[in-house]
Structures are given as structure tokens and as C-alpha cells.
Homo-oligomer: A and B are copies of this chain.
């Protein structure tokens, strides 16, 4: 009994998950790398004996001294945030079925059209477009936990000082090999300025200049027009301006099956069942 409890006391505290794996408790980690080394070794023996599939080890940044030892004992990195790194270790001979790390950043572009048929355009003060005199729509990256339509409003306000409201998603672009090799989803949003007088206030640190430019001029922006994909986006913007395109509406709706949650749904115009349509169905 005593030797058994001695072994137990040196293993790491962990909880099983619903996929046959274990999650090590970050709170119970020893600070001292040598003690961690021994504990991890005996824990791995126990987990292997129990047929554990995978092990999750989250090391808060104040435990950075433990990272080399975890790697030494076969852990690899899974993902990291500012204040921790998550490591994992697949203990089976079969290929790992651990879920992948987040794969995409999400961007928004704002096609803000006012009542005078003018589009809100900016020239960037940073990055590859800096100093090229290139007009473009305001764009930005959606923050963690932020809904797309809210991100679009925030970016327009931050970059130009214009308080605009979201109307519809016009198009979605997916591209690969963006920041740090990740993929990028870019949502082009139709928007309109909220009523009342509003003054352009370009963000000093990000934007060189901002202006309302006529729709016809916006639709001819060279670096957009020259690429098939961006030209299609301009087509969708033009069609939206002329009432020939619906886009996807955004609604935050109850979505929790097991616990309460509200999610954002983007969906297009669904035509109602007409009596004529139902007739047609019945005739089939």
C-alpha cells in the first residue's frame, strides 16, 4: 500500500475527457522542473497502462521552465495564446485523432453606400498598400469572440469615424497561406451610414486618408478590377446598390441544445411557399 500511494502522490492530477483522453490539471503542476520530470514519467506509465489515447498538457506562461521537459518526454505543441502553451501527446500506435488548432483568421470589408450614391473609401497608412494612393473599402480583422456584423461596424467606426449599420453579407472569400500560414475568411458586408450629419475622421495611426467617392469611380478601382475574384466582388457591390442582389442577413438566435447559447446565423432571402408553388409541388 505504501509504495502504491508513493507512486500515486508523484503522478500528475488529471481528468478524463469524453474521447478517451486525459486533461492534466494546470493548477496542480509542480514548479520545479526535476519534480515535474519524475511526475510526468510516472504519469505517462499510468496513462499508457490505462489505455489513454491522448494527453493534454496546458502550461501557463509562469510554468515555461517545464516546456523543455514535456518536449523531452514526447509532447508536441498544439497551440498557444499569450499566457499559455498547450502541448499534447498521442499515446496510441494509430494516427492521432486530436482536434486541430484554429485554422482561420476572419476579416471583414465594408461596402458603405450613402444616400447620395457615394462609397466610403480609405487609403492605408501601413502595410503593402501604404503610399500607393490606392483607394479601397475599410477592412479589418474580427476580434476573438466578436460577431462578424459587429466587427464590420467597429472597423468602419475606428478607421473613418463613420457610424454605420450592417445590412447584408455580399460575398465570402477564402484564401490560404495568410498570416503565419493560416487561412483567411473575408466577409464583404453591405452597410449604410446611420442617419444624421457625420464627419469623416480618419484614424491617424492606420489610415492615410478617407473620402466618400462616387459609386462609378469605386467600381473602377484598378487593382480590384484587374483580378477576376475582386471584380466579382465589385459586381456584387454594384448589384446590391441597384437592388439586384440580396446577400445574407445576420441574425443572432437561440442555438443552445445542451446549454443556453446565442449564435450568429447568416442566411439569404428565402422565398415563401406560394400557392402556385405548392400546386407545382403537388403536381409532381
Task: Report which A residues bind B (CB closer than 8 A).
Answer: 18-19, 61, 64-65, 67-68, 70-72, 76-86, 97, 99-106, 126-128, 130, 141-145, 147-148, 169-177, 179-183, 185, 205, 223, 226-230, 232-233, 235-236, 239, 242-248, 251, 253-258, 261, 263-273, 277, 281
Contact A71-B80, Cβ < 8 Å, known A106-B104, A270-B239: no
Establish whether residues B19 and A267, one from each chain, have CB atoms under 8 Å apart when the complex forms.
no
Establish whether residues A77 and B103, one from each chain, have CB atoms under 8 Å apart when the complex forms.
no
Establish whether residues B18 and A128, one from each chain, have CB atoms under 8 Å apart when the complex forms.
yes
Establish whether residues A19 and B272, one from each chain, have CB atoms under 8 Å apart when the complex forms.
no
Q: How far is the CB of A161 from chain B (nearest CB, A)?
A: 19
Known: A103-B143, A103-B144, A245-B268. 14 other contacts (CB 8 A): A18-B127, A61-B76, A64-B70, A65-B68, A67-B67, A77-B80, A77-B81, A79-B180, A80-B101, A173-B266, A175-B263, A229-B265, A236-B268, A246-B268
Partner of A172, one of B173, B265, B272: B265
A223 to B176, CA, bound (A): 35
The 9 closest A-B pairs by CB, nearest first: A77-B80, A229-B255, A64-B71, A229-B253, A80-B80, A244-B271, A172-B266, A174-B264, A175-B263
| Chain B positions within 8 Å of A104 at CB level | 102-106, 185
Establish whether residues A76 and B68, one from each chain, have CB atoms under 8 Å apart when the complex forms.
no
